[in-house]
Structure 1
Amino acid sequence: MENYRVTWVRARDGRAMVSAVSYDRPSAEHRKADLEAEGATDIEIVKVKPGE
């Protein structure tokens, strides 16, 4: 299985964020959609190695 993290910039204060957990691709896409709805910017799905 491939693992992914999501990075984004928080809308309320411009702080760069990284997900604390790893996702599978469909879950990462869902998280990205949630962040877009919250107004986050620069959202990226990044492939990571297991355990990273």
Structure 2
Amino acid sequence: MDDYRIIWTQEGRDGRQESVVTYDKAAAEGHAGCKRAKPGVSDVRIEPAR
């Protein structure tokens, strides 16, 4: 099973933010959708965890 992380940009913070935990693909898509719905959040991406 592959692990994924969520990366996003948060208004008012320098640089990009990154999830501390990893998710399976389905969970990452669900959490990314929640992030996209939040005000001030942009450029939400799902990337393989390294």
Aligned to 1:18: 18
Rounded to whole Å, the distance in 1 between the matches of 2:10 and 2:48 is 20
Aligned to 2:9: 9
Unaligned runs of 5+ in 1: none
Unaligned runs of 5+ in 2: none
Poorly superposed stretches of 4+, deviation over 6 Å: none
Aligned residues: 48
Offset at 1:48? 1.8
TM-score scaled by structure 2?
A: 0.83
Identity %, equivalent residues: 27
Matched, 1:46 2:47: yes
TM-score scaled by structure 1?
A: 0.81
